Structure 1
Amino acid sequence: MRFSLRFCLLFVVFLAGHRSVHAKNGPIVSGIVRAVEGTTIEFATIAIHRAADSVVVKTEFSDASGAFRFEQLPVGQYFISASQVGFDRVQTPPFSVSASDQKLPAIVLKPSSKTQLKEVTVQARKPLFEREVDRIVVNVDGSPLSAGATSLEVLSRSPGVTVDQNDNLALRGKQGVLVLIDGKRVPMTGAELGEMLRGLPANAIDKIELITNPPAKYDAAGSAGIIAIKLKKDSRQGTNGSITGSYGYGRYYKLTSGLSLNYRHKKLNIFGNYNYSDRNVFTQLTLHRRFYQNQQFIGSSDQENLGRTNYVSNTYRAGVDYSLNKRTLLGAVVSGLAMDAEARIPNVTQTFDEQGKLQSSYQSANRRNLSMPNVAANVNLKHSFDSTGKRELTADVDFAHYETHRRQNLETSFTLPLRPSTTLAGDLNGGLNIRSFKADYVHKLSDKARLEGGIKFSWVNSDNDVLFTNISEGQSVLDTGKSNHFQYDEKINAAYLNVSKTINKTSLQAGLRAEQTDVKGLQVIGNASFERYYFQLFPSVFIKQTLSKTHDLGVSLSRRIDRPTYNQLNPFRAYIDATTYFTGNPSLFPQTSYNFELTHTFKQKFITSVSYSRTDQPIIDVVQPAPEGNRQAVSTFQNLTRSDYYGFTLTLPVQPASWWTLDNNLVAYYQRFVGELAGTSLNSGRPAFTLNSTSTFTLGRGWTADLTGNYQSRQLYGFLDIRPLGQLNLGLQKTMWAKKGTLKLNVTDVLYTSPVNATSAYANYAEQFYQRQDTRIATASLTYRFGNDTLSPSRRRDGGAEDEKRRAGGA
């Protein structure tokens, strides 16, 4: 069935004739901050605390009119503290938050009697983790552990997030994660995504949101949930900015620096930032393989890879916002990432017969060069139809261009038996264009009811060409068996409707998203092509019931889809060593999942949830015998038949002392896979768990410290059996120079306990590997902020091409 353009346009007309608005997830608490003489105070730090234990739940800043607001608050008892340089800190009496919105009396700050020359030590630091109704927020910028780190390293230390040996991201033990950067989907997964996130320094990130069960407004992709990365934005008036530099050392050095500038005056806001990163990464990979034929052992091989990869990245972002009037904002943003990587990975391989006698021995020198420039442009419009903001229209037009240039030179020298050396030279050039249009119309029907709806159109074109040449004794011959040319075109049309309503102590939200997909793929060599057309509906339901002042119960159900990434479908090859290569799989089908979650909240801070999901045709990363035989292995992607996931999550934040906050997160799960691959039937799973614990210490005189630890138990993912691993990290932070400077010191993986040790077994093949990376790193970072300290609320928005930008790459 085709989802026609006419239907989408009719859908927009329908929405314009009806009232729609963002789904409301909990009551809103708002207020205003004034001085004694009645003037409003902007850029005041406003923190809302749980009355039971004084723990900070959220922090905000007052805007130019002195106003502030807190959204998505669970019902319960709270109090608010307000502070500003030159004023005494004020704390409100405790108050109750119910299911309806609440406006507080004006908060009045009195001038401080203390001399302004003394260091101001009263400050409200954002908690490292904030838990909202439907997500966990990781405040990256406030943590000393972010100094000198990459965004991939920050993600690996976030609650419930794991990164495997191939850089596949998992949320609460489930792969199939949608990654957004400022609302735009990253067009990559696996190793491609890992390399891109290594090029994005953590000092460019403000916060990360982990959303396990997104509503219909989001694209239907992401069966495991959404990881939304929010980059830093400066909202101060006038001309201001910040400069950051960091240096780290593990096995090799890591250098990161960044500059951010912003000019805001009346209706105009111009902003931009630039980050440079030069990181050297050590990798060690040890492989032991055993080969069988008719269940009889026929031989084995041992490999040792020691490598060094240099990543150099330049990231930039520039844009302008202009208020056409009080109700209309027009904006434009251009952003990009240019990353270059150079790897030198020597390899030693020995093969043995069934008696353990040495058969062959050779050495490979693998030199790889990777260049991944990309650029994206966005034009956005936000319009409120009245001064109350009850009716609002937003629209985005996005364009993104990604390139991949990979050069490879694999030289192999043979010592047993002795024969001439060979060289395999590869040259890959790929391009990807993404165009999208997105519009959302929202309208608040009443204090307790909303509607929201929108449409989205996206067009994707991908073209990849790879040539391999064999060089031996000075003769070059084109290898037609390895060379390839792959073209891919995709169109997705989507529309959604979301309804929410609060009835007494019950909050209801229901959404329906429709997506119609047209896909065409062509493998030019061999003239192999495929076409797929499908229309699917993705319903979602969320129910929250307030049982008492201390107990809340929530239920969510949804259906989601993960389409293969563009490079997962691409049959080009990338050689790891003389006997191992990676290739895509054009025969992959999308995986679809049904997700259920039941959540209980006690005293607005202790959260327990149980979840279940069923995934049909799950896509997994596998290493299996290559079709060429000759003891070669191929890393690729395959569909299995089914996967069942059962999960239990426990969030346990405690405050042992006024200066010590301890945040604990436990995810226990059982995941079973059913399918057949390489002549091997699979119907198994294993109970597993991950544990994250973070201690935040307020030491006084501007000093704070973070101590984090994470542990992942033994787990079984498809055919891969992974041994336990963990990591301990320590960070220290000092605020100085009248809060304009921040010094951060940290040591990650202090005990060096995060190597990956795993096995995979099939009927005719078994592999055991040990992989260690450069994870124990000591880093020092210094940030200086300059310019005006007056804050004005930013109204910049995210774009609309978030779905396609993740899938433009693959492992």
Structure 2
Amino acid sequence: MQFFLRTYFLFFISLGGGIALAQNGPNVLGSVHDPAGAVVEFATVALHRATDSTVIKTEFSNASGAYQFAAVPAGRYFVSASLVGFSRSQTGPFAISTFNETLPVIQLKPSGTTQLKEVTVQARKPLFERENDRIVVNVDASPLSAGATSLEILSRSPGVTVDQNDNLALRGKQGVLVLIDGKRVPMTGAELADMLRSLPANSVEKIELITNPPAKYDAAGSAGIIAIKLKKDGRQGTNGSVTASYGYGRYGKLASGLTLNHRHKKLNIFGSYNYNVRNVFTQLTLHRDFYQNNLFTGSSDQDNAGKTRYITNTYRAGLDYTLSKRTLLGVVVNGMDMDAKASIPNVTKTFGAEGQLQSSYQSANNRGLRMPNVATNLNLKHSFDSTGKRELTADVDFAHYETHRLQNLATTYSVPVIAPTVLAGDLNGGLNITSFKADYVHSLPNQTRLEGGIKTSWVNSDNDVLFTNLIEGQTIIDTGKTNHFRYNENITAAYITINKTIKKLSIQAGLRGEQTIAKGVQVIGNNDFKRNYFQLFPSVFLKQSLSKTHDLSVSLSRRIDRPTYNQLNPFRAYIDATTYFSGNPSLFPQLSYNVELTHTFKQKFITSISYSRTDQPIISVVQPAPEGNRQAVSTFQNLTRSDYYGLTMTIPVQPTSWWSMDNNLVAYYQRFIGELAGTSLNAGLPAYTINSTNTFTLGHGWTADLTGNYQSHQLYGFLDIQPLGQLNIGLQKSMWNKKGTLKLNMTDIFYTSPFHATSEYANYREQFNQRQDTRVATASLTYRFGNDTLTPSRRRTGGAEDEKRRAGGA
């Protein structure tokens, strides 16, 4: 990849000599006045596509009545403005090419005197919006969000899949960076999934799927970034909302939430609280075949089925204070306390080479997991002049996470008849994250723009686990499983991004450097490691407007995925008497090189082809355990290399004025190369995912959604995964003068999303079927109260994005 880096640096230098660059695209500017000609503050201003009136972006007018839409792609648009007490008004259609567009003043009229007749403006925000480098999922726009969790919303989003181990993938690639309000979630895998299950969809405003992150973001996330933005009430005065929902599948699921906001002059105080109780059914059946020297030696069958009860309390509180016209100061506290209890009994039978029964036993697997966490963010935003051309933002983050896991695995044996055993585990872990970051933006004449920033973070993790065996009434410490693991890490980063528009060509080039110093200490086993390395992460984005209807863009980037803290943690968590999960302290970071070419037609039909190469890819595997005795371990390993070739197509369709379709196809081929458990791997398989969302405007305040997704047969490392999919339907009714919303939905109507897969090595083959509680009917009611006058929301991001995702990761 030295050629890749050299090419990039030659290109970067050729921009040269401090050419300060601009945003990707021109701006649309204007202002809003009332009938008397006075400026209107806090008006809702929307940019619409002229061809079908679809809302592209939404902003608010400021204290001088002005608004601005930045980086608008070429095309034809119109702008509408609205405010409580006035009718919606709009501009005439206009065209955007390569220059800023200043529109005539929009003059609002008293409500009832004027109605729009030229076009029908969509009252409901579109479920999906597309920008240059991302897809925006407006969660609250769909009735399917009622009673759902953030993980369920993600699993139904275009190009997003969740595998049997709860690993997220974007367009078929794992290695996704997840942010919540700009802060990286400290987990991956099952622990990230548990957190997203405890975050109700009714607290989420939107989700951004970013496939080409600029240098401003941490270099992590080789597959892209999933950015979750929580709701914030922007109305003046005192207001809020209350939500309650109940769903039923195999078991009941209750969700409730309250938000409050008080905004007056320079002060804005806000807070929210959510309480969820979710009872989830899971079923896992396993068949394993064992070999030695290519000879079949026996097999085993397992059946696990049970219930997990999640009780979560999430809260968020903060304030914004305007120190001056140019300076804003904010503080936010986020917290979550998740308490999960699972009872999943297991039945196992083992057989010899001739099929004779060798053993039969039953395990009562009772697990408890409590994960309290709290994070505080201090943020500052300062403009050096009244135009906002020079702006500084800074964040300080403090976060504390705890993990308390109890496990009791009681096993009784019927063949042969031997004394029962009890394996008990008690894990206690703590994680502290401190980070600071600052970003500076400088807009220069001739639509030029320069960005830069720094960040540093410190992570301290301490985990202690004690395992004991109860045999014939005597408790004995299991020294082979008991352990103590400590991990310390410091990452220091800096970046610079340069943008320039030359006629119809937009150029963005960025360079990020990260220094990593890490140390892991395994007290028992003495399996310590130290890492100290510096890496450069270049990125380039080019966009050429070919005509009024055609745009072409290309992006190149180098990214890194460091192992999460729990992926490195060698502790064990037992699934049954012969299967356990364990981290791997020997993991190395994976590095990826990515290129993507995108064509846009009429600003809505998007086709992308992409390629990425990943060195030392980290994959989740289930393989024979070192202990032998027909045991299996679920863990993470580095392979040698993987190559990904992808085709993505976005096809929105408007069959009628009351029916719109949003279709997304991802077709890809991913090949893995490596060796594991005595087995060489050099294989791939063409695969695809299809996601289709249909939105119906039924009248009288009713809307409906019908969504379907399908994932074809695919190969991921040593895992051969069978097809699966689901169909979901939802209804939504606006009532009580738009202060109330009723949502009804049913997910996975035909119960077609079980997970079937096979994992095969030279001396081991495993087939497993996994089914969860995915067919659920839900009813939800939301009521909003208080003042309806809006005000613009302000940035609130944090600096601990990278570390907070990696803090978990089982």
Shorter-chain TM range is over 0.9
Q: In the alignment, which residue of structure 2 is the partner of 1:519? A: 518
Q: Aligned-pair distance for 1:796?
A: 3.9
Aligned to 1:444: 443
CA contact (8 A) 1:73 1:133 kept: no
CA RMSD across the alignment:
1.7
Q: Does 1:750 align with 2:749?
A: yes
Is the partner of 1:805 in helix, strand or coil? helix
Aligned-pair distance for 1:106? 1.1
In the aligned structure 2, how far is the partner of 1:63 from the partner of 1:282? 50
Deviations 1:124-163 (A, max 9, x none): 2211000001110000012111110000000000000000
> Which residue of structure 2 aligns with residue 11 of structure 1?
none
CA–CA separation in structure 2 for the residues paired with 1:71 and 1:705? 32
Aligned partner letter, 1:472: I
Gaps of 5+ in 1: 1-16
| Corresponding residue number in structure 2 for 1:138 | 137
* 2:577 matched residue in structure 1: 578
SS in 2 for 1:418: coil
Number of residues of Structure 1 aligned to a counterpart in Structure 2:
790
Deviation at 1:453, TM superposition (A): 0.5
Tell me how far apart the structure 1 counterparts of residues 338 and 609 of structure 2 sit (CA, whole Å). Answer: 41
**Residues 87 and 114 in structure 2, CA contact (< 8 A), matched pair in contact too:** no
What is the match of residue 255 of structure 2? 256
* Counterpart contact for 1:350–1:359, Cα < 8 Å: yes
Partner in structure 1 of residue 9 of structure 2: none
CA–CA separation in structure 1 for the residues paired with 2:308 and 2:753: 19
Q: Does 1:640 align with 2:639?
A: yes
User: Structure 2 vs 1, CA of residues 276 and 64 (structure 1 numbering), >3 Å: closer, same or farther?
Assistant: farther
Q: Deviations over 1:598-647 (max 9, x none)?
A: 00001111100100000000000000000111100000000000000000
- Whole-angstrom distance in 2 between the partners of 1:250 and 1:64: 50
Aligned to 1:147: 146
Q: Tell me the percent identity.
A: 78
> Which position in structure 2 is the counterpart of 1:804?
803
What residue in structure 1 maps to residue 223 of structure 2? 224
Is 2:361 aligned against 1:356?
no
- CA offsets 1:535-591 (integer angstroms, 9 cap, x no match): 010000000001111111101000000000000000000000000000000000000
The amino acid across from 1:521 in the alignment is: G
Q: CA deviation at 1:114?
A: 7.2
State the partner residue of 2:75.
Answer: 76
Kindly report which structure 2 residues correspond to 1:530-549, keeping only aligned pairs within 5 A, or say none: 530-549=529-548
| 2:73 aligned with 1:55 | no
Task: Give a deviation string over 1:439-464, Cα, whole Å, max 9, x none.
Answer: 11110012421111111010000000
CA distance in 2, matches of 1:277, 1:65: 43
Matched, 1:603 2:602: yes
1:587 maps to a residue whose letter is S
* Whole-Å separation in 2 of the counterparts to 1:88 and 1:396: 40
Amino acid of the structure 2 residue aligned with 1:176 = G
Q: TM-score, normalised by structure 2?
A: 0.96
Residue in 2 that maps onto 1:554 = 553
> For the structure 1 residues 780 and 574, does the alpha-carbon distance in structure 2 shift closer, same or farther, using more than 3 Å as the test?
same
Match in the other structure for 2:730? 731
Deviations 1:664-709 (A, max 9, x none): 0000000000000000000000000000100111111111111111
Secondary structure, counterpart of 2:528 in structure 1: strand
Is contact 2:84–2:788 with CA below 8 Å preserved after alignment? no
Contact 2:60 2:67 in 1 (8 A): yes
> 2: distance between equivalents of 1:436 and 1:25?
30
Query: Once the two structures are superposed, what CA deviation does each residue of 1:264-309 show, in whole Å capped at 9, x if it has no partner?
Result: 1111111111111100000000100000000000000000000100
Q: Indicate conservation of the 8 Å contact 1:189/1:565, yes or no.
A: yes
Give runs of aligned pairs for residues 325-340 of structure 1, distance below 5 A. Answer: 325-340=324-339
2:45 matched to which residue of 1? 46
Letter of the aligned partner of 2:474 in structure 1? Q
Structure 2: 5+ residue stretches without partners: 1-16
Larger mean CA deviation between 100-109 and 206-215 belongs to 100-109
Shift of residue 92, structure 1, vs aligned partner: 2.6
How far the C-alpha of 1:370 sits from its partner, in A, is 0.0
Residues 200-211 of structure 1 mapped to structure 2, 5 A cutoff: 200-211=199-210
User: SS of 1:528's equivalent?
Assistant: coil
Preserved CA contact (<8 Å) 2:220 2:802 = yes
CA shift for structure 1 position 51: 2.0
| 2:805 aligned counterpart, secondary structure | helix
Partner of 1:301: helix, strand, or coil? strand
In structure 2, C-alpha distance between the alignment counterparts of 1:351 and 1:113, rounded to whole Å: 77
Residue 192 of structure 2 aligns with which residue?
193
In structure 2, relative to structure 1, the CA distance for the partners of 1:374 and 1:193 (3 Å cut) is same
Partner amino acid, structure 2, of 1:699? L
Deviation at 1:59, TM superposition (A): 3.5
Shift of the alpha carbon at 1:18? Answer: 8.6
Distance 2:59 2:690 in 1: 30
Match of 2:767 in 1: 768
Is 1:379–2:378 an aligned residue pair? yes
Give 3-state SS (helix, strand or coil) of 1:803's partner.
helix
CA deviation digits over 1:749-801, x for unaligned, max 9? 11111000000100000000000000000111111111111111122421111
Equivalent residue, structure 1, for 2:96:
97
Structure 1: distance between partners of 2:85 and 2:114: 9
Report whether the alignment pairs 1:393 with 2:392.
Answer: yes
Tell me the equivalent position of 1:673: 672
**Superposition deviation, residue 64 in structure 1:** 5.3
SS of residue matched to 1:419: coil
8 A contact 2:692–2:709 mirrored in 1: yes
What's the CA shift for 1:41? 4.0
The answer to whether the 8 Å contact 1:59/1:124 transfers is no
Distance in 1 separating the partners of 2:708 and 2:800 = 35
- 1: CA distance, partners of 2:645 / 2:558: 16
Q: Distance in 1 between matches of 2:611 and 2:596?
A: 7
Residues 143 and 744, structure 2, Cα contact 8 Å, conserved in 1: yes
Q: Secondary structure at the match of 1:141?
A: helix
Q: Which moved more, 1:521-530 or 1:338-347?
A: 521-530
Paired residues of 1:448 and 1:503 also in contact (CA < 8 A) = no
Whichever residue aligns with residue 174 of structure 2, its letter is: Q
1:154 corresponds to which letter in structure 2? I
Instruction: Name the CA distance, whole Å, in 2 between partners of 1:398 and 1:88.
Output: 43
Distance in structure 2 (CA, Å) of the matches to 1:18 and 1:57 = 33
1:384–1:717: structure 2 CA closer, same or farther, 3 Å change rule?
same
Deviation of 1:62 (Å): 4.0
Counterpart of 2:36?
A: 37
Shift of 1:110: 2.1
Structure 1 SS opposite 2:141: coil
Aligned letter for 2:716?
Answer: Y
Counterparts of 1:138 and 1:99, CA distance in 2: 28
Deviation readout 1:724-761 (Å, 9 max, x if unpaired) = 00011111111111111111111111111100000010
Q: Which amino acid aligns with 1:731?
A: G
* Distance of 2:62 and 2:326 partners within structure 1: 17
Structure 2 Cα separation of the partners of residues 87 and 793 of structure 1: 18
Paired letter, 1:141: D
Rate the CA distance shift 1:19–1:429 in 2: closer, same or farther, 3 A: farther
Partner residue of 2:12? none
For 1:711, the equivalent position in structure 2 comes to 710
| Aligned: 1:316 with 2:301 | no
Partner of 1:283: 282
Range 76-85 or range 296-305, more displaced: 76-85
Mean Cα deviation higher: 663-672 or 87-96: 87-96
Distance 1:70 1:212 in 2: 22
* Distance in structure 2 (CA, Å) of the matches to 1:695 and 1:809: 36
Residue identity in the other structure for 2:251: Y
* Amino acid across the alignment from 1:444: S
Alignment of 1:423-442 (within 5 A): 423-442=422-441
SS state of the match for residue 420, structure 1?
Answer: coil
**Separation (CA, whole Å) in 2 of partners of 1:59 and 1:498:** 26
Judging changes above 3 Å, is the alpha-carbon distance between structure 1 residues 658 and 94 closer, same or farther for their aligned structure 2 residues? same
Shift in Å, 1:89: 3.5
- Deviation per CA, 1:471-490, whole angstroms, max 9, x where unpaired? 01210000000111000000
Q: How does 1:687-702 map to 2 (within 5 A)?
A: 687-702=686-701
Instruction: Give, in angstroms, the shift of residue 804 of structure 1.
Output: 0.3
Distance in 2, Cα, partners of 1:113 & 1:126: 23
The 1-side partners of 2:91 and 2:208 are apart by 29
